[in-house]
Copies of this chain bind each other. A is one copy, B any other.
């Protein structure tokens, strides 16, 4: 399979051309470009250029309003409401991020609740930026139905990630970002495309039975991590991300994949805590925990592979399939 080498600047330029050509406004393009570049830099290709054709299609079909203007309201001392107005999630989150950071500094804790939103890419990307401002950050994000309530057969919850960003004395924040499913749905799709079986425990078929058949898994539901507890965690995240904001729950949202169904109107919730409002020496205290983890042979800190990739990609750039590159150039030339 031929491939194309790109610097991160190339990634930014290509993403920008694709988004503008498909009708994304100048105002909204920057936020999405930054997130695509960050995903590629971190080696999270599923949320980088590989997702860009879907973004392009969704702007073209109106599933995303490329010219939407997000509305940020600080409703109370610690509460920030964001209406993404059926545009990209990234400009909405970016517009509210400085507000939520300032609000947390004032109130000690602040929550931003985003409605009428779209896939926000890598959740860790957002909590990391809040943590870079010295805040402990939690993120809850829902998506279209993929996980069944325990005992049921039909998807109601998204693969709903939870994330935390924790400031560190030196270096980048520690970031944990993980879905409520055993494995990302995109992995099952890749197996289905290749006609390969999936491992036990990844997915259930439409009758709720465990399956090794990737295509049957896609017709069914994703297995929640840890069984009943994972399904419950996905429900907690639905309530935080979509419940509070009034966004669509997983079972009400259109797909992040196909072009049908109009805007998904999913939601996000980010909570920022100013550690100095709750005590002294948070960063050093948390650092003791990270040190205790690394003191044990065989361990690593969550996110360290992502950080290593970031160092590597900054100098080496990334490589994408030529077919994807041609597809993206096609959108850019519209």
**CA distance in complex: A100, B296 (Å):** 38
The range of chain A's interface size is 35 or more
The residue that A293 contacts in the complex, of B156, B176, B227, with Cβ under 8 A, is B156
Which B residues are in CB contact (< 8 Å) with A151? 296, 298-300
| 10 extra A-B contacts, CB within 8 A, seeds A109-B110, A136-B239, A138-B236 | A75-B277, A76-B277, A77-B107, A78-B107, A78-B110, A107-B109, A178-B229, A226-B229, A243-B289, A249-B292
- Against B, the Cβ 8 Å flags (1 = close, 0 = not) of A135-177 are 0101000000000111111101000001010100000000010
Which B residues are in CB contact (< 8 Å) with A182? 226
Given contacts A152-B297, A166-B239, contact A278 B81 (CB under 8 A): yes
Chain B residue nearest in CB terms to A148: B296
Q: Which of A242-277 contact B (CB under 8 A)?
A: 243-246, 249, 251-252, 271, 273-275, 277
Q: Check B246–A280 contact: CB distance below 8 A.
A: yes
The residue that A153 contacts in the complex, of B236, B252, B282, B296, with Cβ under 8 A, is B296
Which B residues are in CB contact (< 8 Å) with A302? 232, 235
The residue that A271 contacts in the complex, of B109, B113, B178, B249, with Cβ under 8 A, is B109
Which B residues are in CB contact (< 8 Å) with A286? 239, 243
**CA distance in complex: A252, B178 (Å):** 26
On A, residues with C-beta under 8 Å from B are 75-79, 81, 106-111, 113, 115, 136, 138, 148-154, 156, 162, 164, 166, 176, 178, 182, 208, 225-227, 229-230, 232-233, 235-236, 238-240, 243-246, 249, 251-252, 271, 273-275, 277-282, 285-286, 288-289, 292-293, 296-300, 302
Which B residues are in CB contact (< 8 Å) with A176? 232, 235-236
Q: Check B111–A109 contact: CB distance below 8 A.
A: yes
